[in-house]
Amino acid sequence: MTALKIAYLANILVAGWVGISALFLPKTAAVSVFSNAFDYSESFRLVGAFWTTIFILSIIGLFFPKEMCLVLIFQVLYKSIWLIVAAFPAILNGQPYPKEMAVFFLIWVVALPWVIPWKEIFAF
């Protein structure tokens, strides 16, 4: 199994759980996904829709790994932005934030650039 397919499989497992739980069991997601760092709100369902989309696109990525790499690039970008704008300031100010999510995001932001076939994506 290629590194790209492993990345998509990890997305399927993680984004699938986060997406489906946030969509259909948002109060459970508040505890299990967001570590009770945030009060429950209907915005959890918006996050659920977003992550369920990544889940679905990652399933397609198992069959078309190179063609779906933009999903991985998108993840590197949005996770990096969230870490810089939300997680790191929360850490510095002693505010609550979903610690497990931040760790996963950091690992993903460091690992994915090594997996994405940049030369093939930007070959002209």
- Report which of 12, 17, 1 is spatially closest to residue 72, judged by C-alpha positions: 12
Global confidence as pTM: 0.86
What's the half-sphere exposure (Cβ side, CA atoms, 13 Å) at 102? 15
List the structure tokens of 5.
């397919």
User: Could you read off the pLDDT of 27-55 as tens digits, one per residue?
Assistant: 887 777 777 777 777 888 888 899 999 99
Q: Which residues of 64-79 are buried (b: 16+ CB within 10 A; e: fewer)?
A: ebeebbebbeebbeeb
Residue 62 burial (10 A CB sphere; 0-12, 13-18, 19+): middle
Cα–Cα dist 96/86, whole Å: 10
Q: Mean pLDDT for the chain?
A: 91
- Report which of 75, 60, 30, 71 is spatially closest to residue 48, judged by C-alpha positions: 30
List the structure tokens of 81.
């932005």
User: Could you read off the pLDDT of 72-118 as tens digits, one per residue?
Assistant: 999 999 999 999 999 999 999 999 888 888 999 999 999 999 999 99
